[in-house]
Amino acid sequence: MGTEKIVIEDLYKGFGHEPGKVFPLLEKGLGKDDILKKTGHTVAINNASITVEQGEIFVIMGLSGSGKSTLVRCVNRLVEPTRGKVLIDGEDVLKMNPKELRELRRRKIGMVFQRFGLLPHRTVIGNVEYGLEIQGMPKEERRKKAQSALDIVGLANWAGSYPENLSGGMQQRVGLARALANDPDILLMDEAFSALDPLIRKEMQNELLELHSRLQKTILFITHDLDEALKLGNRIAVMKDGAVVQVGTPEEILTNPANDYVADFVQDVDRGKILTAGSIMITPEVITSKDGPRVALRKMKETGLSSVFVVGSGRTLVGIVTADAVLTGDNLETKDLSTVLITDVPTTSPDTPVNELFPIAAETKIPISVIDENKKLLGIIPRVSILAAISKKEVIQ
């Protein structure tokens, strides 16, 4: 893993006159609703800790009211946390004075908002250059930078238009260009695509992924949409009632939900899109290409399977030997495997989504072998495992 870019530690945020009042009650284990009833205070963030690595897309997911938008605003202190720690590149954000905080917002962080937050009285380019303008950058220089940010999001020809004349998707591209204009390390995206039509949304997600692979920004992305979270996130934090319930990769969240809440959340997901061959493969029993048919047969008897994989040096995949072939005629009497070896076996890479394995599985009875770029056998996927993975039963190892 890379270096830690954003660290949030034991963060609390209470809304009300005396947010400090809620801590003793929280420590007693009272819930959000009880505290609201007793003190009139809302606990928006309850002891949240996350670490965002340099260059990753970290998604915070939760339903409305889970505190995710408040949490992301604590990173640049649009919302002032009540207690806890926020570090960016090791610097304590909460200890910054107003001037240092402004510098942080100007140089290091770009933010994209759900409802765009564009300035309606400024043109598209006027919006994009706003962040540079308030830093006092000369007009010519900032225009140039703003124009190249517009190029990135594909709106180069719209510089002179006003936001109200643009579609929602285009407005959000302007929002994105504005966030990119001052070339920040970090992008905070608060439900950035939630207000867009499904098709535009998908398009924007793909573009963001493409952009991320090109620019390598650290992105903290907030969403209530699980599919979006699974698609974009290198890692995902699931929030509920202001607390972080689970942090993990999309596959970890899907295959190993921390509690019923997360499990409920993920139950309707199209798992085949998220789970990869690598995550459902099992370790195969193998023989080497020097072994004979008898060894193969013994291995099959030991494992109770009707086939066995054959590997060469460095565990490279050679092929498969089936029980049927070994027992046909006098094949068992031959010394080497070549007569019974099937080399035309279906293969796939470890990061292929499970959905794409269906066509392969439909055409063959042999388990699909998962190999890396050097043809090294990493694991195999029997057809039953594919079905098990999709129906979210635990894969039996």
Binding site for another protein (CB under 8 A): 76, 78, 102-106, 109-111, 113-121, 130-131, 133-135, 178, 182, 188
**Residue 370 carries which DSSP code?**
E
Min separation Cβ 160 and another protein, Å: 16
- In a 3-state reduction of DSSP, which class is residue 376? strand
The answer to whether 337 touches 318, Cβ cutoff 8 Å, is: no
Beta carbon nearer to another protein, 3 or 165: 165
Beta carbon nearer to another protein, 62 or 131: 131
Min separation Cβ 270 and another protein, Å: 32
Beta carbon nearer to another protein, 147 or 352: 147
For residue 11, how many C-alpha atoms fall within 13 Å in the half-sphere facing its CB?
32
Min separation Cβ 106 and another protein, Å: 4
Alpha helices in the chain (DSSP H): 22-27, 32-39, 68-75, 98-107, 124-128, 130-133, 139-152, 168-181, 198-215, 226-232, 250-255, 260-266, 271-274, 277-280, 293-303, 323-327, 358-363, 383-390
Min separation Cβ 110 and another protein, Å: 8
Pairing mode of beta strands 218-223, 235-240? unpaired
Token reading at 151: 């190029």
Residue type for position 164: E
Min separation Cβ 40 and another protein, Å: 18
Beta carbon nearer to another protein, 135 or 259: 135
Q: How far is CA 287 from CA 292, 307, 309, 342, in A?
A: 9, 11, 6, 14
Beta carbon nearer to another protein, 111 or 274: 111
The structure tokens 């919302």 sit at 79
* Cα 295 to Cα 297: distance, rounded to the nearest angstrom: 5
The answer to whether 370 touches 348, Cβ cutoff 8 Å, is: yes
Q: How far is CA 258 from CA 22, 48, 171, 245, in A?
A: 26, 16, 38, 7
Beta carbon nearer to another protein, 23 or 162: 162
Min separation Cβ 198 and another protein, Å: 22
Beta carbon nearer to another protein, 63 or 119: 119
* Cα 132 to Cα 151: distance, rounded to the nearest angstrom: 17
Beta carbon nearer to another protein, 39 or 76: 76
Min separation Cβ 94 and another protein, Å: 17
Min separation Cβ 240 and another protein, Å: 25
